[in-house]
Amino acid sequence: MRTKKKDIFLQNLENMADTVVQAADYFSHHVNDLQDVLAFANQMKQYESQCDSYTHTIITGLNQTFITPIDRDDIMDLATTLDDVMDGLESTASRFYMYNLGQPDEYIIQFAEILRQCAYEIQKAVHLLSQKKLLAIREFTIRLNDLENQGDELLRICTKELFATVTDPIELIKRKEIYERLETTTDHCEDVANKLESIIMRNS
């Protein structure tokens, strides 16, 4: 018996979520001990490029298709927010290389773990979207909101510690930007949750 082919839009949204998980896993695992910062940044750029290709496929499909499984704007907005998460991870990794940053501190490692957890929640939620289990998605959007709150609190803690302990102004500027980029990426994860909530309301 032939299985029904998955809708191209939902498939590519799943592909994007899967790539975000791969990137967040790689980021979290390697940021603990950056032996080769250039290789780290290059690998993250590959993940980002892969995500871009899925976004391009979705945009091309929207321009060529009249009937879509959910609202066209919802598809585009969800793809955009997923891409924002990937861009946040990649742009942070690139700055480790550009700024010649030394070994990441405990706060960067904690942010990386929060983002890794966010990525898995996003992946589960997006896969449920394909299965049309909309109400079940709420469990994961609630979790994403909780994780974003953890990111907010971590930014407050690490920024206070930064200004209390780091005297080199250049180092302070570099670390502060890294912290803020990581926290902004947790905001993007919450944006994914908010977009999923909007889809639930419109379609359930």
Each residue of 75-116: pLDDT tens digit?
999 999 999 999 999 999 999 999 988 778 999 999 999 999
To the nearest 10 degrees (0 to 180), the angle between helices 37-64 and 72-98 is 160
Counting DSSP H helices and E strands in the chain, the numbers are 6, 0
> Are the C-beta atoms of 86 and 47 separated by less than 8 Å?
yes
The contacts of residue 82 (CB under 8 Å, 6+ apart) are 13, 16, 17, 20, 51, 122, 126, 192
pLDDT of amino acid 202: 85
Instruction: Please give the average per-residue pLDDT across 26-36, as a whole number.
Output: 90
- Over residues 161-203, the pLDDT tens digits come to 999 999 999 999 999 999 999 999 999 999 999 999 999 988 8
Angstrom distances, CA of residue 156 to CA of 132, 160, 163:
38, 6, 11
- Over residues 41-77, the pLDDT tens digits come to 999 999 999 999 999 999 999 888 778 888 899 999 9
Query: Model confidence at 1, in pLDDT bands (50, 70, 90)?
Result: very low
Query: How many CA atoms, within 13 angstroms, populate the side-chain half-sphere of residue 120?
Result: 10
